[in-house]
């Protein structure tokens, strides 16, 4: 069955753009049924319209509580036939009213290597903390913020003294690769869950060398004497 995807955005929508591009290229067995935003000036809506994708807006400020806003969103997304929800820079927490309407069909991208640096400033928090490796995570959404089972992560080295904005740009380029990949697996029915553990049927396993050392990213790079 063809996956009918709703993408939820609050801002620029560069992840949305990457998803659109991969859907149009035939890499994801899905159609984007609707792009939804809680903000009518979200640039993601313009991106959607320019690709002929239906859009919908409901302002969260018009609802007195999260549950009522979520119920209104569920209605509009179901009206568009959506069966799977991709949060792409959507800046609202979801309640069980929403999550129970699409059980295990809501996924999110977060710009940090969860469970490190959840929240709205993951990249800046990572830069300020002084980590050597940063990255991003695609995960299922549950009731806790940036918490559900992890589907895929990508890591990248953090250059000395880099600021949060520069790091955010570096991470964003990885986001644009891993989010469409996760959606392609979901669309093909290749993802299953065992508690928190996500299994991806047919995904390549990391290959270890003869000493049993797997592929790794180290930053700063090891000097020669320590590298083997």
Judged by CB under 6 A, does residue 39 bind ligand GRF? no
The candidate with the shortest Cα–Cα distance to 99, out of 56, 148, 136, 134, is 148
| Shorter beta-carbon distance to ligand GRF: residue 105 or 110 | 110
Judged by CB under 6 A, does residue 111 bind ligand GRF? yes
Give the number of residues written for the chain: 228
- Active-site positions? 110
- Residue 14 known to bind ligand: yes
> Closest approach of Cβ 18 to ligand GRF, in Å?
8
**And the tokens for 44?**
């993601």
* CA dihedral sign of residues 43, 44, 50, 54: negative
Looking up tokens 């093909």 gives 188
Q: What is the DSSP letter of 221?
A: P
Judged by CB under 6 A, does residue 135 bind ligand GRF? no
For ligand GRF, the binding residue among 3, 8, 15, 141 (CB under 6 A) is: 15
| Span 163-202, contacts to ligand GRF by CB under 6 A | 172, 175
Judged by CB under 6 A, does residue 124 bind ligand GRF? no
For ligand GRF, the binding residue among 69, 86, 89, 158 (CB under 6 A) is: 89
Q: Decide: 119 and 125 in contact? Cβ < 8 Å.
A: yes
**Binding piece for ligand GRF, criterion CB under 6 A, among 11-19, 30-38, 74-82, 215-223:** 11-19
| Shorter beta-carbon distance to ligand GRF: residue 13 or 180 | 13
Return the HEC string of 111-157: CCCCCCCCCCCHHHHHHHHCCCEEEEEEEECCCCCCCCCEEEEEEEE
| H or E element, residue 80 | none
Considering CB under 6 A, how many residues would be counted as binding ligand GRF?
13
Which residues, at least 6 apart from 204, have a Cβ–Cβ distance to it below 8 Å?
none
Query: Which residues are known binding-site members for (6R)-10-formyltetrahydrofolate?
Result: 66, 108
Residues making contact with ligand GRF (CB under 6 A): 9, 11-15, 88-89, 109-111, 172, 175
């Amino acid at each position: 069955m063809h996956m009918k995807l709703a993408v939820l955005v609050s801002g620029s929508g560069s992840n949305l753009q990457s998803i659109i591009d991969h859907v149009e290229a035939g890499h994801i067995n899905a159609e984007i049924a609707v792009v939804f935003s809680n903000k009518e000036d979200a640039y993601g809506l313009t991106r959607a319209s320019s690709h002929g994708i239906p859009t919908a807006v409901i302002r969260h400020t018009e609802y007195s509580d999260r549950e009522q806003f979520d119920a209104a969103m569920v209605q509009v997304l179901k009206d568009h036939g959506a069966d799977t929800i991709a949060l792409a820079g959507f800046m609202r927490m979801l309640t069980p009213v929403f999550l129970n309407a699409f059980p295990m069909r809501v996924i999110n991208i977060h710009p940090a290597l969860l469970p490190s640096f959840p929240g709205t400033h993951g990249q800046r928090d990572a830069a300020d903390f002084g980590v050597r490796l940063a990255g991003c995570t695609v995960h299922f959404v549950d009731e806790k913020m940036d918490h559900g089972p992890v589907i895929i992560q990508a890591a990248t080295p953090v250059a000395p003294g880099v600021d949060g904005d520069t790091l955010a740009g570096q991470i964003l380029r990885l986001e644009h690769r891993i989010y469409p990949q996760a959606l392609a697996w979901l669309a093909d029915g290749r993802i299953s869950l065992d508690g928190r553990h996500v299994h991806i049927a047919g995904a390549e396993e990391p290959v270890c060398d003869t000493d049993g050392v797997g592929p790794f990213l180290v930053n700063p790079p090891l000097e020669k004497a320590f590298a083997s």
